[in-house]
A and B are shown apart, each in its own frame.
Chain A
Amino acid sequence: MTTAPMEREAAGANRLSDLARSIFSTVGILPILLAVVILYFASQESRFYGTANLTNVLRQSTYLIIVTLGQALVLISGGFDLSVGAVIAVTSVVSARYMASHYAANPNSELSSVLVGVGIGLLVGVIFGLVNGIGVARFNVSPFIMTLGMASVGSGFALYYTGGSPVSGMPPLFTREIGTGRWFEIPVPVYAAVLATIVVLFLVGSTSWGRYLYAIGGNTKAAFLSGIPVGVYTASVYVMCSLLAAVAGLLLTARTSSGEPNLGGQYPLESITAAVIGGISLRGGEGRIMGAVLGALFITILTNGMNLIRMESYFQTMAIGVILILAVIFDRLRDRWRV
């Protein structure tokens, strides 16, 4: 049997597009986008690859990376969390006000002000996570409604609690050491982001908790039939997500040296975009944590580059929206190609 030349050509083209598809569906679109964006900005603006800017990008990316880690966990378990921004705002104002007032009353106990303030901030995260988790897992409220509602509750509370104005007067130990400090030339928040990433990687890869998240997100009924207490694990992942958002909130508070009721508004959108573009499926059960971290890095580099070439911030917001939609379309395509 001889194959007609035309058929052979068609087969060749097919093989090429098959190859492209298989590359896309395994590593995703992200590495390609990342390379394109970096090359583009580097050619447009020489400051982009200067040490100062790279350190800056590194620091800026930490907050989003930490929030995205939590978001990725929730997405893997089949939900999502729109309240991470509100958690950041409430954490910020509550911990800032405690630290400021306690420090003003006892100027000598700087360390205890900071430690208790951080503890209160983390507690805020746990409470938000528990409310979200119980609403979703116990009362079957859809994650969309539950976390959207809590986002509204949280941002309303942050404004009410502060009367809308920032809280200042925090101990310098907090703002200086955590906010602007560096260890071995590297900004302190970078260590926090690396630590958080390692912890989450460990939880997902080496514990039954992580395994169950994938099972629940992939097929809740199968997980339940396998004897997994689905509700407990679903609730726990919202707690983990809010806790990570609270960590990001504390770091941002230290960075801005004030408790900001408007802090963190962009994080729900940006963290979902980062996770999805990093290959975490919106339908749950799929995706790698490192992909999400890379996604967060990508969003930060993009924002930074757009700032450097002086793109208007309104356009930047539009760009993030477009990228989210493209990432979701790609997510669907990848699903179809893989079959």
Chain B
Amino acid sequence: MQLARASVVEDVQPLPAELGRVELLRLSSIGKRFPGVQALSEVDFDLQSGEVHVLFGENGAGKSTLINIIAGTFPPDDGTMTLRGQPLRLHSPHHARQFGINAVFQEFSLVPTLSVQDNLYLGREPKHAGILDKAAIARGTKETLDLLEFHLDPKAQVGRLSRAEQQMVEIAKAIQGEPSILILDEPTASLTENEANRLFALIERLKEQGLGIIYITHRIQEIRRIADRVTVLRDGRAVATVAAGDVSESRLVELMTGRTVDALYPTIDHQPGPVMLQATGLTLVNGRVRNVSIDVRAGEVVGLAGLVGSGKSEIGRAVFGLEPIASGSIAIGGDGVQHPTPRGMLDRGVIYIPSDRREEGLVAMRPVRENMSLAALGLPTFSRLGLLRRRLEGRTVRSIAQRLNLRPLNIEREVAYFSGGNQQKVVLGRGLARNVKVFIFDEPTTGVDVGAKVEIYAFMKELCERGAAVLLISSDLPELLHLANRAYVMHRGEVRAKLTGSALTEEAVLANFFDHDADAA
């Protein structure tokens, strides 16, 4: 279990010396503090020309902080950086680009109202006597897009493109700057298999040209495919740097989590009872979900897998009345629901835990007590004729907070000051403040540290074994595979596969994630 100690023994593997390979970037003892957190401490990292160096780690492990430092978003508090042996101090992303360091972040830096070509040249427009050289912009854009084999209309407005297309524009923009170091932050998260293959081919070409590429991914397959070395981050520390060729998958997971796989996921005793949640022929007005039928029984966890944009999240939202439904029906405990609304669904014992707890879950500047009781305030436990029963409220919320092991256990503290994992517990606690029989979890462990993750899994196990129906919508495949009794795999708005028992394997789920285009090899 104590892998942290074991990993110290693991030496940084030098890259096999190859002809013409030079060190581009070296980071020594990098540290970065944010108010209340030590985001990075004593991180060593180096990048050679012509290599793909993968950063691997959980959300919150410090990957983003590290690439933001390399990309010049903010400076490190401690440690030094060198570029080709010369000390490097960056003031801004713009400054970093002048040194040939370009980053493609998950949050796009595109102006949605401008066209593709205007975005590519934003901030470095070619000019003739102060007047924009539109012909040069059009020519340059075409060359870049052709080089990348991205089929995009240079005049299209970026805001109207799909997420995958926007991702391509973002990559094109980074390549446009002719970088020597390229940072890619989960670039395939919203690409189809075909698009991802093109990206990998492009990365091969860029490597041959001597670029150094820092690549963040959660997918072990991608490490196999393109990585030369992998640096694993955990809790702000570089736990190990290993050669990609000779590290096993379970070793990577153990390095990443500091726990063995068995210690991370509980074994849930599924006892499927009557059907609690049933959607039949569900089609949404926006077309993101088409003719989907799923059911979840009491006493089991049912997984809903799929890529970003596959419609898996929209199913949960539609059931809770957050997405307009075009056709199909929803039944809770056998009773049909005509027009689902959050209020109606809560009254029927259904709760939806949103994926974005800051955006949709929490009232950040209010205390834990008010956040946990929010969905249940109309119940007799918390109020009578609109008058709050504050003492009872305090007592009830405190006992829920204790049960969820909230840290610190201070229910009058504002939610904003809690860690990601504890904030998530506050949102989950809402489901305990009232009688809930159906839990819909949408990405319940994003941005949550390992310790809180284990507690959230234990919470789900407890719910399930006490007879609740749990729908687990997750992009975290290991989580889904270990917790779910059975799973649906979504693809482009439709259920592509239903997997039960021994058929529920990583290969089976992944096989249904992607397009099987005719032109794919």
Q: Are A215 and B35 in contact (CB under 8 A)?
A: no
Closest to B361 in A: A222
Contact B378 A208 (CB under 8 A): yes
Cα separation A208 to B374 with both chains bound (whole Å) = 9
In the complex, the answer to whether B386 meets A225 with C-beta atoms within 8 Å is no
Which residues from chain B contact A249 at a C-beta distance below 8 Å? none
Please indicate the chain A residues that have their CB under 8 angstroms from the CB of B346 in the complex: 226-227
One of A209, A215, A229 near B374 (C-beta < 8 A): A215
- Is the C-beta of A339 less than 8 angstroms from some C-beta in chain B? yes
Question: A-side binding surface: helix, strand, loop or mixed?
Answer: helix
CA distance A214 to B320 in the complex (A): 23
- In the assembled complex, the Cα of A248 lies from the Cα of B343 at a distance in Å of 37
User: Does any Cβ of A come within 8 Å of B365's Cβ?
Assistant: yes
Known: A224-B342, A226-B374. A214 touches B363 (CB 8 A): yes
Q: Chain A residues with Cβ under 8 A from B311's Cβ? A: none
Question: Contacts A218-B363, A221-B360, A225-B352 hold; do A208 and B343 have CB atoms under 8 A apart?
Answer: no
- Complex Cα distance, B362 from A285, in Å, reads 12
B8 at the interface (CB under 8 A from A): no
Asked if B388 and A206 sit within 8 Å, CB to CB, the answer is yes
Which of B347, B365, B375, B386 makes the CB contact (< 8 A) with A226? B375
Residue-wise interface mask of B (358-397) relative to A, using a CB-CB cutoff of 8 A (1 in contact, 0 not): 0111111110001000110110001100111010000000
| Distance between A138 CB and nearest chain B CB, rounded to angstroms | 16
User: Given A208, A218, A224, which contacts B377 in the complex, CB threshold below 8 Å?
Assistant: A208
Q: Tell yes or no: A81 within 8 A of B by CB.
A: no
Chain B residue numbers with a CB within 8 Å of A223 are 363, 374
Q: A162-202 vs B: 1/0 string, CB under 8 Å?
A: 00000000000000000000000000000000000000000
Bin the interface of chain B by size. Answer: 20 to 34
The answer to whether B388 touches A207, judged by C-beta atoms less than 8 angstroms apart, is yes
Complex CA distance for A215 and B346, rounded to whole angstroms: 17
B390: A residues at CB distance < 8 A: 206
A286 to chain B: closest residue by CB = B365
For residues 323 through 372 of chain B, which have their beta carbon under 8 Å from a beta carbon of chain A? 341-343, 345-347, 352, 354, 359-366, 370
CA distance A285 to B365 in the complex (A): 7
Interface 0/1 of A203-218, CB less than 8 Å to B: 0001111011011001
The total number of A-B Cβ pairs within 8 Å is 78
CA distance A329 to B377 in the complex (A): 35
Known: A214-B370, A226-B342. A206 touches B365 (CB 8 A): no
A42: min CB distance to chain B, Å: 37
With A206-B388, A207-B386, A285-B365 already in contact, the answer to whether A227 and B342 are too (CB < 8 A) is: yes
State A211–B390 Cα separation when bound (angstroms). 11
Residue in contact with A211 in the complex, picked from B341, B359, B364, B377, CB distance below 8 Å: B377
A208-B386, A225-B354 known; A218 and B366 CB under 8 Å? Answer: yes
Say yes or no for B97: interface residue by CB 8 A criterion. Answer: no
Contact A228 B374 (CB under 8 A): yes
User: Would you call B383 and A208 a contact (CB within 8 A)?
Assistant: yes
**Is B370 a contact of A215 with CB atoms below 8 Å?**
yes
Are B363 and A222 in contact, CB atoms less than 8 angstroms apart? yes
Whether A209 lies near B366 (C-beta < 8 A) is no
CB pair A215 B366 closer than 8 Å: yes
How close is B33's CB to chain A, nearest CB, in angstroms? 13
- From 227 to 285 in chain B, residues with beta carbon under 8 angstroms from any chain A beta carbon are none
Q: Which B-chain residue is minimally distant from A338 (CB atoms)?
A: B416
Output the least CB separation between A207 and chain B (Å).
5
Tell whether A229 pairs with B343 under 8 Å between CB atoms, given A206-B387, A206-B388, A208-B377.
yes
CB pair A208–B388 under 8 Å, yes or no, is: yes
Q: Would you call B147 an interface residue if the criterion is a C-beta within 8 Å of the partner chain's C-beta atoms?
A: no
Rounded to whole Å, the gap between the CB of A227 and the closest CB of chain B is 4
**What's the nearest-Cβ distance from chain B to residue A223, in Å?**
7
A218 to B430, CA, bound (A): 17
Let me know if B360 and A222 touch, CB within 8 A: yes
Closest 3 CB pairs of A and B: A218-B363, A226-B375, A227-B343
A-to-B contact residues, CB < 8 Å: 206-209, 211-212, 214-215, 218-219, 221-229, 281, 285-286, 339
Question: 6 more A-B contacts (CB under 8 A) besides A225-B361, A227-B378?
Answer: A207-B386, A208-B382, A211-B388, A218-B366, A225-B320, A225-B322
